[in-house]
Structure 1
Amino acid sequence: MLLLGIVLLITVVGLGASNTERRLGRRLDRMERKLDAIVAQLGVTVEEPGLAEVAALVREGKKIQAIKVYRENTGADLKEARDAVERLV
């Protein structure tokens, strides 16, 4: 019975953490959309780190390598890196 209680506690704590992470992720997404809108409104170009190398890889048809380099240079997750590389295609 004690073991079942411990398993339930770990599950509940784990679910709370993932809810918090999802909530923070949604908040960050909203903030990024707002910043993108501000940048677009101002007509400012934001140079992302390592973008020249990534763009060169895309031109060479090395999309997977471009995603890899983008992730290494920015710390972005796979989806973010893939989306950024897709914008260059």
Structure 2
Amino acid sequence: MDSWEAILLVITTIGSVAAAIGAWFQERRSAATQLAALQRKLDLVMDRLGIAAPEEPEVAEHLENGRTVEAVRAYRKQTGASLIEARQAVDRIAAGRRLPEQ
């Protein structure tokens, strides 16, 4: 095997490995996107049916004390949600806790 064949073999191997890694990352990204879409749909169904999401005690405590940022942090820690998802969930929890104005 001469040097050009060896170089082509190395380049082909590197390209194959890079393609496999790229496909793996794309699959993970796709699964995360699908999971987020399912979560949003489930939230909409629960809202439509009037079912409240279970409250986390630590989140509720922070909301009672007016500490929204800490409530979002606690929600993220307990659920693994993204910042945006956690903020939306905490806002929904806070809205559900408010008493209707009379």
Provide TM-score, normalisation by structure 2: 0.59
Shift of 1:82: 4.5
Structure 1 pair 81–31 and aligned structure 2 pair: CA distance change class (3 A): same
Cα deviation 1:49-76 (Å, max 9, x = unaligned): x3x312433535372x444432332233
From 51, 66, 69, the equivalent of 2:74 is: 69
Cα deviation 1:31-63 (Å, max 9, x = unaligned): 122211211111111114x3x312433535372
Structure 1 pair 32–54 and aligned structure 2 pair: CA distance change class (3 A): same
What one-letter code is carried by the residue in structure 2 that aligns with 1:76? A
Say whether residues 1:5 and 2:16 are aligned partners: no
Distance in 1, Cα, partners of 2:12 & 2:89:
45
For residues 1-89 of structure 1, what are the structure 2 equivalents within 5 Å? Answer: 1=7, 2-48=9-55, 50=56, 52-58=57-63, 59=65, 61=67, 63=69, 65-85=70-90, 88=94
The number of residues matched between the two structures is 86
Give the gaps of 5 or more residues in structure 2.
Answer: 1-6, 96-102
Q: CA RMSD of the aligned region, Å? A: 2.7
| Larger gyration radius, structure 1 or structure 2 | 2
More deviation in 38-47 or 75-84? Answer: 75-84
Shift of 1:30: 2.2
Percent identity of the aligned residues? 30
Structure 1 pair 3–68 and aligned structure 2 pair: CA distance change class (3 A): farther
Shift of 1:4: 2.3
Structure 1 counterpart SS, 2:35: helix
Greater RCO, CA 8 A, separation 6+: 1
